[in-house]
Amino acid sequence: MTTPLLGQMMDVPLTVSSLLAHAARHFGSTEIVSRRIEGDLHRYTYRDCEQRAKQLAQALIALGVEPGERVATLAWNGYRHLEAYYGTTGFGAVCHTINPRLFPDQIAYIINHADDAYVLFDTTFAPLVDVLAPQCPKVRGWIALADTAHLPAMQTPALSYETLVGAQDGDYEWPAIDERQASYLCYTSGTTGNPKGALYSHRSTVLHAFGASLPDAMGLSARDAVLPVVPMFHVNAWGIPHAAPLTGAKLVFPGKDLDGKSLYELMESERVTYSAGVPTVWLGLLNYMREAGVKFSSLQRTVIGGSACPPAMLRTFEDDYGVQVIHAWGMTEMSPLGTLSKLTWEQSQRPLAEQRALLEKQGHVMYGVDMKIVGEDGRELPWDGVAFGDLHVRGPWVIDRYFRKDDSPLADGWFPTGDVATIDRDSFLHITDRSKDVIKSGGEWISSIDLENVAIAHPAVAEAACIACAHPRWTERPLLVVVKRAGFEVTREALLAFYEGKVAKWWIPDDVAFVDELPHTATGKLQKLKLRDIFRDHVLPSALADEANCPLTRGNPAA
Ligand code: ADP
């Protein structure tokens, strides 16, 4: 056998620190603007950020943190959180971002499971830290992201971040570390069972940042001012804290104020061109803008993902405000980006209605991720836009296994996402449900997301969720749960009639329940598990009705 001929290029490891080093050196004066917990607007540059990240690295090393150890954050989007991203990973420690909206017991579980050495926290979370500290005895120190003047009164002895960082000179070279070393630890929100940890590597983080930056992915640029509404504690804010320094984009961090008015004002004052967040956040922003009668003067594009973007929201952004929506799908286990909705040249020549129908889907896969849909027998299903199946993925930024879990989650080398989807001839992915949320009517599947999207398009509907309700004949039938828009009225009958002609007759929900609010998870998604629990004893009128009123007569093909 002949020896393979190796390439003769520099073997430069792909490290997270190289992203910030690049921005500091080549976009040194580009700004990072943050709404602080202290109330003011803080501004500095990528150059300043790298300097302080180095000071933080020195401070953590002085505290005895070793490469490979986990340092956690409980923080909003802001410049100190960004320093924590780079000041930990930069010397080989692992940045463990914690979602503060989880239940304290879950957070304590996560901190203990991750074996965090230190926890950096925004002062908003001081009361939470007081609850957590007694349950997390192995944490060596709690560091408040504040100067001594802003240290909150609390039972837990806390160090001041500014004092620690201020004691260092920043004269520090990022070490060249093995690109396969761990970079970030992100836990899934654990809607069922305990949260599970996804442990990224430097290599996967940098490759994901490269992929995210491509024009047909997020498409960030040095001409953008980016405001990530998606939290840095939720899957690395979808990679924006890495893609922004890679491309040289200006960063604008909103801190803790995520209401429509605060976001709108910050976007306007900082001339933000690009944003990203989950649909619930945009709901708040769009409501504020409608009521205040204001328009965007600089925003051009926004990524919407984390849960399905209702087509009605997409229309509002595009038609009323001239903002391009990039619908994206991904998950914690995928760092998180998988697909984004952008058209090819050929697709953009088609009739407008066809283009829009494509853009409403979750989009085309990025280079680096491969996907397939499989049936119950594990066999791959056709990409015809009709066949529903379990979505499996693989790629260099997809997990191989969970942190500190021995059993492999993979099936034949693919990661089963738990999502149910179709893929069409254009290779566009359409997520129809999470597998546990699918409504199984007489052996056929009904997409709860599609039914919610129809309801949301009704002017009197503020928010809608569709869940499976027990049915003696069909096993399950859809129940629509609706929050009405303030000042609007709509009846059950009018809402059900609204479905006529928009979905197959047998998909039309059997009943509507009106509620004041819907339960959400810590990441702003509909909490269907809880909703199913609330409506466990709900009796559908169709379940009581006689044979003539049964869904059978409405033509359920599964009959
Ligand atoms: P968790 O909510 O468990 O923390 P993630 O935040 O990683 O997990 O969410 C991943 C899941 O969110 C996906 O598996 C999918 O069900 C859902 N999701 C993400 N983006 C979209 C989207 N654009 N459309 C529909 N569902 C989405």
Q: Respond yes or no: is residue 474 known to be catalytic.
A: no
For the chain, what percent of residues have pLDDT higher than 70?
A: 97
Sheet holding 141-144, edge to edge: 158-160, 141-144, 116-121, 70-74, 94-97, 182-187, 197-201
Identity of residue 179: E
Model pLDDT, residue 390 = 95
Residues 408 and 515 in one domain: no
448 lines ligand 1 (CB under 6 A): no
Catalytic entry in 261, 372, 440, 484: 440
279 lines ligand 1 (CB under 6 A): no
Q: What is the spatial distance between Cα 328 and Cα 309, in angstroms, rounded to a whole number? A: 9
Q: Is 552 inside any structural domain?
A: no
The answer, yes or no, to whether residue 500 has pLDDT greater than 50, is: yes
The answer, yes or no, to whether residue 548 has pLDDT greater than 50, is: no
The number of the ligand 1 atom at minimal distance from the alpha carbon of 304 is: 23
Residues 188 and 286 in one domain: yes
**Distance from the alpha carbon of residue 525 to the mean position of ligand 1, in angstroms:** 8
Give the mean model confidence (pLDDT) for residues 349-366.
97
**Distance from the alpha carbon of residue 3 to the mean position of ligand 1, in angstroms:** 45
Q: How many domains does the chain have?
A: 2
Q: Could you tell me where the beta strands, DSSP code E, fall in 454-542?
A: 461-471, 475-484, 511-514
Residues 268 and 310 in one domain: yes
Give the mean model confidence (pLDDT) for residues 524-548.
82
DSSP H or E segment with residue 274: strand 274-277
Model pLDDT, residue 554 = 45
Q: Is 272 inside any structural domain?
A: yes
Residue 516: which CATH number? 3.30.300.30
284 lines ligand 1 (CB under 6 A): no
pLDDT, tens digit, 9 for 90 and up, residues 38-77:
999 999 999 999 999 999 999 999 999 999 999 999 999 9
Q: Is 555 inside any structural domain?
A: no
The answer, yes or no, to whether residue 553 has pLDDT greater than 60, is: no
Tokens read off for 534: 């609330």
**Distance from the alpha carbon of residue 178 to the mean position of ligand 1, in angstroms:** 31
Distance linking the first and last C-alpha atoms of the chain:
62
Residues 419 and 443 in one domain: no
Q: How confident is the model at residue 382 (pLDDT cuts 50, 70, 90)?
A: very high
415 lines ligand 1 (CB under 6 A): no
Q: Is 338 inside any structural domain?
A: yes
432 lines ligand 1 (CB under 6 A): no
Q: What is the spatial distance between Cα 267 and Cα 282, in angstroms, rounded to a whole number? A: 13
Q: Is the separation of the CB atoms in 119 and 111 below 8 Å? A: yes
Q: Is the separation of the CB atoms in 131 and 155 below 8 Å? A: no
Residues 181 and 270 in one domain: yes
Sign of the CA dihedral 349, 353, 359, 362?
negative
Q: Respond yes or no: is residue 414 known to be catalytic.
A: no
User: Which domain, by its residues, includes 534?
Assistant: 437-547
Give the mutation target among 234, 236, 329, 529 for probing the ligand 1 site: most ligand atoms within 8 A of CB: 329
Q: Is 81 inside any structural domain?
A: yes
The answer, yes or no, to whether residue 550 has pLDDT greater than 60, is: no
**Distance from the alpha carbon of residue 452 to the mean position of ligand 1, in angstroms:** 16
**Distance from the alpha carbon of residue 323 to the mean position of ligand 1, in angstroms:** 23
Tokens read off for 503: 């979905």
Residues whose CB is less than 8 angstroms from the CB of residue 291 and which lie 6 or more positions away in sequence, other chains included: none
For the chain, what percent of residues have pLDDT higher than 90?
A: 87
Catalytic entry in 174, 445, 506, 507: 445
The answer, yes or no, to whether residue 190 has pLDDT greater than 80, is: no
Residue nearest to atom 10 of ligand 1 (CA): 331
CA separation, residue 464 to residues 203, 519, 541 (Å): 40, 11, 20
Residue 219 falls in which region: left (phi positive, over 0), alpha (psi -120 to 50) or beta: left
Residues 213 and 348 in one domain: yes
Q: Is 74 inside any structural domain?
A: yes
Model pLDDT, residue 445 = 86
327 lines ligand 1 (CB under 6 A): yes
Q: Is 557 inside any structural domain?
A: no
Residue 85: which CATH number? 3.40.50.12780
Residue 143's nearest CA partner among 127, 128, 171, 164 is 164
Q: How confident is the model at residue 316 (pLDDT cuts 50, 70, 90)?
A: very high
The answer, yes or no, to whether residue 555 has pLDDT greater than 60, is: no
Tokens read off for 158: 């806390």
Model pLDDT, residue 194 = 81
Q: Is 375 inside any structural domain?
A: yes
Residue 13 φ then ψ, to 5°: -65, 145
Give the mean model confidence (pLDDT) for residues 373-392.
95
Residue nearest to atom 24 of ligand 1 (CA): 308
Q: Respond yes or no: is residue 440 known to be catalytic.
A: yes
Identity of residue 94: V
Give the mean model confidence (pLDDT) for residues 215-221.
97
305 lines ligand 1 (CB under 6 A): yes
Residues 415 and 515 in one domain: no
Residue 161 three-state SS = helix
**Distance from the alpha carbon of residue 329 to the mean position of ligand 1, in angstroms:** 7
Residues 503 and 387 in one domain: no
The answer, yes or no, to whether residue 1 has pLDDT greater than 80, is: no
Tokens read off for 428: 């566009």
Catalytic entry in 333, 360, 452, 463: 333
Residues 361 and 287 in one domain: yes
Residues 488 and 386 in one domain: no
Q: What is the spatial distance between Cα 421 and Cα 114, in angstroms, rounded to a whole number? A: 32
pLDDT, tens digit, 9 for 90 and up, residues 434-444:
888 989 888 78
The number of the ligand 1 atom at minimal distance from the alpha carbon of 328 is: 23
Model pLDDT, residue 557 = 41
417 lines ligand 1 (CB under 6 A): yes
The answer, yes or no, to whether residue 120 has pLDDT greater than 50, is: yes
**Distance from the alpha carbon of residue 406 to the mean position of ligand 1, in angstroms:** 24
**Distance from the alpha carbon of residue 307 to the mean position of ligand 1, in angstroms:** 5
Model pLDDT, residue 280 = 87
Q: Respond yes or no: is residue 517 known to be catalytic.
A: no
Q: What is the spatial distance between Cα 76 and Cα 166, in angstroms, rounded to a whole number? A: 21
Sign of the CA dihedral 62, 37, 139, 184?
negative
